[in-house]
Structure 1
Amino acid sequence: MNDSVDESPLTDNIPDHSAAASELRMATFRLARRLRAQRAVDTMSDGQFAVLAALTVHGAHTLGQLADRERVTAPSMNRTVSLLEGAGYITRIPDAVDRRRVSIDLTDYGRTIVDETVRRRDAFLEESLAALTPDERETLARAALIMRKVADK
């Protein structure tokens, strides 16, 4: 009689959750890496795309607001914004009341880049999901809700 138990590292039967946490971390990072590779502009860094995505979702920001949102220093964000502006993805808009204040917003070209990147990433996931069984897709749908719950902590 074999006393060994074949358990998944992601089960509640493991009192020490370190193996499950490690497995989840590695799988999440690997999928995130594959998704990041699906982009409209190969030369754009993840940080640069994050700025475009933030502007898409949250609208125009000042440099300081963008730096806070992305958790970087203002000088670092200024370099990123300057690169994105030079490439035509964003524009700086002077405040009509306070000329010292400048808002940063997407150009139409920047919005197109975000839309195309999102389309490519969704297409990658749709194709990947289509290759799975219905049970696997159902499991991933439930896992997505749980992962969002963990991320929102």
Structure 2
Amino acid sequence: LWMLAAAAHDLRILAENCHRRGGDCEITAAIVADLFDTVEGAEEKQSPALVQLYKTLTALGSFFLVRGDLELARQLRARLAHVPDATLEQVRRELTACENPVFWEVTDRVVNFDFVEPDVRAGLPAFLEPVECWPAPAAALLRS
């Protein structure tokens, strides 16, 4: 459980840093694809880590939406399309409630996997809406 969550978190941070530093789009897309593979494997096994993995997808999707990378945001939102609304609401609630990046009780990483930066946290509700409901111009661009 912890290893899946840690691996997914690491992929999220790699993708964010690659994007933030203007890295090659193909590298960022490959990192996101690795994250999708991780989630797919967990879904096949009905892993108890699924909610944590959905949090990772949601946080990364909100990151891309807030930063204007609508294609990657759309891909991440599409990957969550089958997740029940109640689970997505739980994900939103838990990510929105987490304001402390430090977590020391379980791991020596001193990292709270649920922490997202305030601007990304603010974008969570919009990201979790269906793509058709995203604010313009995002919705128009994503439908094309």
TM-score under structure 1 length normalisation: 0.28
More strand by share: 1
More helix by share: 2
Q: Work out which of the two has the higher radius of gyration on C-alpha atoms and give 1 or 2.
A: 1
